[in-house]
Amino acid sequence: MRRRIYEMIEKGEPNDKLSVNYDRFMIVCILVSIFPLCFKDTSHPAFFWMDKITVAIFIVDYILRWGTADFKLKGTNAFLRYPFTFFAIIDLVAVLSSLTPLNSTLRAVRVLRLPKCMKPLKILRYSKGFHMMMRVLHKEKDNLLTVCYFVVGYIFLSALVMFQVEPDTFKSFLDAVYWSAITLMTVGYGDIHPVTDVGKIVAIVSSFLGIAVFALPTGIITAGYLDEISRKRNK
């Protein structure tokens, strides 16, 4: 019985109609649950019942997944480890955000509404492309971690150089780090920019290096994604 429940609540196989229909039902529930978040005034009774009914369904789904965690997670203590998995945390936050009383101050209401925005992430559980991407990220984690170290080092080094070259432009080192980060990502909001000739030269070099650095993780992920697609087709 528990095995069949696990097969039903997991991402459905094409030949398992019950599991496929369950996935479709949960996707509809997720879409319905986030519909009220598209409106500023959520006091309408329809929005209230949409939230309560879908949250009740999410609670049942969470309990079923926790109760069959030993089929999904390898090793011991599966029931203890499940609440700390990625999707379990998303499920729990989505549920708790709706159960939290929202009758205090206006600022608290705005803050407590933020976790509700995590509800759309629940739909990722039913995306084959997302699961493939997660496998790619796990496979290439060592290379990506190396690139991350390089990116962080580049941001701080660039910020340090610019902070020394133009101390009057940046009020603090954090401003320099902020400038370096948006330069690395080629965003360039223009709110902070160098004004001296030396600073502009440093910014030009930093921009060119930023493009190269930013392309590294993209290339790694793309190569891993293509390998995963090729491996799947050759099965």
Segment 38-59, tens digit of pLDDT: 776 767 888 888 888 988 998 9
- Helix ranges, the chain (H): 2-9, 17-34, 45-67, 69-72, 78-81, 86-99, 106-113, 128-139, 141-165, 173-184, 197-233
Regarding pTM above 0.85, the answer is no
The predicted-structure confidence for 127-145, as pLDDT tens digits, reads as follows 777 778 888 888 888 888 8
User: Which amino acid does the sequence have at 202?
Assistant: V
Residue 136 has a CB neighbour count (10 Å cut-off) of 21
> For the domain bounded by 141-233, which CATH number is listed?
1.10.287.70
Residue listed under structure tokens 């290339």: 219
The predicted-structure confidence for 181-210, as pLDDT tens digits, reads as follows 887 776 767 777 788 888 888 888 888 877
- Helix ranges, 68-172 (H): 69-72, 78-81, 86-99, 106-113, 128-139, 141-165
pLDDT value of residue 202? 83
The predicted-structure confidence for 73-125, as pLDDT tens digits, reads as follows 877 788 888 888 888 888 888 787 777 554 444 344 444 445 556 666 777 77
Instruction: Output the CA torsion sign for 121, 123, 125, 129.
Output: negative
Name residues whose C-beta falls within 8 Å of residue 30's C-beta, 6 or more positions apart in sequence: 54, 119, 120, 122, 123
SS3 148: helix
Residue 210 has a CB neighbour count (10 Å cut-off) of 24
pLDDT value of residue 2? 81
Q: Which fold has domain 2-126?
A: Four Helix Bundle (Hemerythrin (Met), subunit A) (1.20.120)
Domain ranges of the chain: 2-126, 141-233
Q: How many CA atoms lie within 13 A of 188 on its CB side?
A: 10
* Short-list 128, 94, 132, CA closest to 10: 128
Q: Determine the Cα–Cα distance for residues 73 and 27; give it in Å rounded to an integer.
A: 23
The predicted-structure confidence for 2-36, as pLDDT tens digits, reads as follows 888 887 887 666 677 888 888 888 888 888 887 87
Give the tokens for residue 150. Answer: 């390089």
